[in-house]
Amino acid sequence: MSSALQARYHRLVGRVSWLWLQVWLLTLLTVVQLAVFQVVVPPWQHFDEPAHFRHAWSLVNLVPAQQAAAFTPLDPVMVRETLGSMVENAFYRELTAPNYLRTHGLDTLGHSQSVEFRMYYDWVGWPLRIFRQADITTQLLAGRAVTSIFLLIVVWSSMGLMRSLTRPGNRLRWLVPLCVVLVAPVADLATAVNNDIVAIAGFSLFLWGAVHGLSRRMTLMHTLWIMAALAFTVAAKQALLFVLPLAPLAVVMGLWNNLGMRWRWLWLVSVLVVMALAVLTLRLDQAAFWVTRWLNDTPGRVTHEHAVHGEYAIPAVVSSEPIYQRLHDDWVVQHPEFLLNFGAWVWADEPVEIPLLGFAYVAEGANFMYNEVLGSEEPVRVTQEPQFVTRKFWVPKEAVILYVFLWPYTLVAQESINHVYYDGMVLMEGVVDTDQVPVYTTSDGRYVQWGERSAENLVRNPSGERAWPTFLKQIDLAVQEVAEWNPSAVLHRMLDLRWSGDILWVQQPRFMLLNLFNRLAWGGVNLPGGLWGPLTLGLFALGIVGSGVHVRSLLQDPESHNRDRGLLTAYGFLAISLVLIWIGADLWIARFMWMDDLHLSDTRYTFPACIITVGIMAGGIQVLGNRAGRWRDVATALVVVLFLAFNVAAVVAYVDTFRGLM
């Protein structure tokens, strides 16, 4: 063998040896991390763990009819043992513990997970069968062991992905996987009976396959890999249905890259496809600013011969869910304890006696999930002819959020679907002469003259003349059936910028970034001190800057641009995937923005893209260090120290929180 071949052989052996050393070291570190979190996290203290365990247990121990029921009585012994274990392990340390000795098997273990696919729960069921005779806590720990395997898949996928993106010898090949191991909230999920980490593992495999194909040459094997990994992801967690378009996008980008075609044409085709899909799937029949929680068969606005203002009226089905609108929060806070005057033209398909409307308010300092309702003073007899009806409401000074809702409810059985129509609505604060009919002074009803007073109408779109797009009923039904959320309702929350704009596009992203590594155990355990949130923001900002510098250098070098076309394609796809996952996590709250339920969604919904997020932080800082020359090793050490500090702080927070409670 020639000396040149011998040298190449030894280099290859050295690379393989170094690769396997990295694999074994990172695997060992992952196992240690899992063991630590298995010890420091008491039973039941993970997100939704009682509910997920309940579903896995029911698949093993209950008959099929009981398994399919969303809220079914469980075995009373199992419920008592589970609630007893939860009490013993300080689950109710800040809550009122149930009297589990008196339970008769009612499901008190959280929101049912029966809507999810069975795949993950069948896997958890295997150790539950083996330990069927053990106590309930032992069964839970056995189920946790199954979940822990998937963190290894995440770490191995991060290694494969970074090898696809970088050249031999690049320290990001081990630095990014190391940082993924040290992300405490991910390890937290990996030691729970919860399907989150399974979905994260599936999406990590998908990203690895997509990047491998895009950075080299997309083949049939890559396509099958991508499709299988994304199908696995959705089978693990149905909430990730929205990522399915990434599979065809990856394949199309790969084929486009294989053919060497200009990207401007792909963007043009993409815009045309999106426009065509919008035309085919959307319709304009929802009254703007008026929302419902669930899908119903009645459009949000209809043309009607009796319409008083314009061509449209807002229909509400008798004894169905309310239609409601949130008033401007700033206005509510600025007017403590005030009188509201409401007036509207109303009529119905068939005569009916109903409350005219109601108000719901949330008091200052109260949980958003609870509110007080102010009802109408007395029912009103609605006929088939329009009549103008008024009501007065006193709103208490403690109200900080106020909703007006149209709820034509009656206890009298209806022989057929009966609609009550609302038109020309007016809502004004203060004293007005309600014996007079108000007059709109602007065509859209924003300003009104009521008696001698002229003011802004507090009801937006009071006659339904302004429309919002709504998805086709078939799409809403399909998604609602599988994932328990209504796409049209989410779209309407996005469009109501006065209400949800600040929440969705300011408060929620800021909350997720500040708490990216900071929220553990149902959000009840946070890292000590106020340093960690700003530190996370700083890390992310530096990572974005460094990543931008790296991509810009590739784009500005013509030779590098041509040589690294596949690499740039992979970067672009990772950016799209990251944005989609974070938007999906941000919009999670939109599923719950009802009158009686509002809370910011947790950062764990961003973790399917944790490899990308961590890669931006670690890789971007490393790029900045490399460009500074002598700071290369300092940048690497800084990244390792910071991620290790986050991890140690999380362990300390767990120990401090549960010390003496167990």
Which CATH number does the domain housing residue 405 bear?
2.60.120.260
> Which residue do the tokens 């330990």 mark?
131
Q: Is the pTM of this model over 0.75?
A: yes
Q: How many domains does the chain have?
A: 2
In a domain, 591, yes or no: no
In a domain, 87, yes or no: yes
Parent domain of 94: 49-145
CA–CA dist 581, 89 (Å, integer): 34
pLDDT of residue 369: 42
Which of 109, 127, 145 lies at the terminal end of a domain, its last residue? 145
pLDDT of residue 374: 60
Which of 128, 145, 162 lies at the terminal end of a domain, its last residue? 145
Count CB atoms within 10 A of the CB of residue 171: 18
> What number of CA atoms fall less than 13 Å from residue 6's CA on the CB side?
3
What SS3 state is found at 293?
coil
Q: Which of 131, 69, 133, 132 is nearest to 106 (CA)?
A: 69
> Which residue do the tokens 């939860």 mark?
86
pLDDT of residue 367: 47
Which of 125, 145, 165 lies at the terminal end of a domain, its last residue? 145
pLDDT of residue 362: 65
CA–CA dist 93, 131 (Å, integer): 28
pLDDT-flagged residues of the chain (< 50): 65, 70-71, 101, 103-106, 366-370, 595-597
Contact 457, 428 (CB under 8 A): yes
Strands ordered across the beta sheet of 358-363 = 323-326, 399-406, 358-363, 372-375
CA–CA dist 448, 511 (Å, integer): 39
In a domain, 276, yes or no: no
In a domain, 330, yes or no: yes
> Which residue do the tokens 């309407």 mark?
492
Residue 393's beta-bridge partner residues?
340
Q: How far is CA 3 from CA 6, 8, 10, 13, 168, in A?
A: 5, 9, 10, 15, 22
Count CB atoms within 10 A of the CB of residue 420: 24
Q: Which of 157, 241, 160 is nearest to 205 (CA)?
A: 157
pLDDT of residue 279: 92
What SS3 state is found at 529?
coil
Contact 439, 354 (CB under 8 A): no
Q: Which of 152, 151, 175 is nearest to 163 (CA)?
A: 175
Among left, alpha and beta (phi > 0; psi -120 to 50; other), residue 27 is alpha
Contact 347, 385 (CB under 8 A): yes
DSSP for 608-643? GGHHHHHHHHHHHHHHHHHHTSTTHHHHHHHHHHHH
Residue 445 main-chain phi, psi, to 5 deg: 75, 15
Q: Give Dmax over CA atoms of the chain in angstroms.
A: 106
In a domain, 617, yes or no: no
> What number of CA atoms fall less than 13 Å from residue 218's CA on the CB side?
26
Count CB atoms within 10 A of the CB of residue 110: 15
In a domain, 269, yes or no: no
CA–CA dist 296, 438 (Å, integer): 32
Give the pair of three-digit tokens for residue 435. Answer: 């014996």
In a domain, 633, yes or no: no
Count CB atoms within 10 A of the CB of residue 137: 18
- Beta carbons within 8 Å of 283's beta carbon, 6+ residues apart: 469, 470, 472
As a whole number of Å, the end-to-end CA separation of the chain is 67
By percentage, how much of the chain surpasses pLDDT 70? 86
- pLDDT tens across 597-652, in order? 456 778 899 999 999 999 999 999 999 998 877 788 999 999 999 999 999 999 99
CA–CA dist 456, 440 (Å, integer): 10
pLDDT of residue 307: 92
- Beta carbons within 8 Å of 184's beta carbon, 6+ residues apart: 37, 517, 520, 646, 647, 649, 650, 651
CA–CA dist 40, 58 (Å, integer): 27
Q: Which of 611, 617, 609, 610 is nearest to 542 (CA)?
A: 617
CA–CA dist 261, 250 (Å, integer): 15
Contact 603, 585 (CB under 8 A): yes
In a domain, 476, yes or no: no
Contact 643, 27 (CB under 8 A): no
CA–CA dist 204, 151 (Å, integer): 10
| Angle in degrees, CA 78, 81, 84, rounded to 5 | 145
CA–CA dist 54, 65 (Å, integer): 15
Pairing, β 302-303 against β 447-450 = unpaired
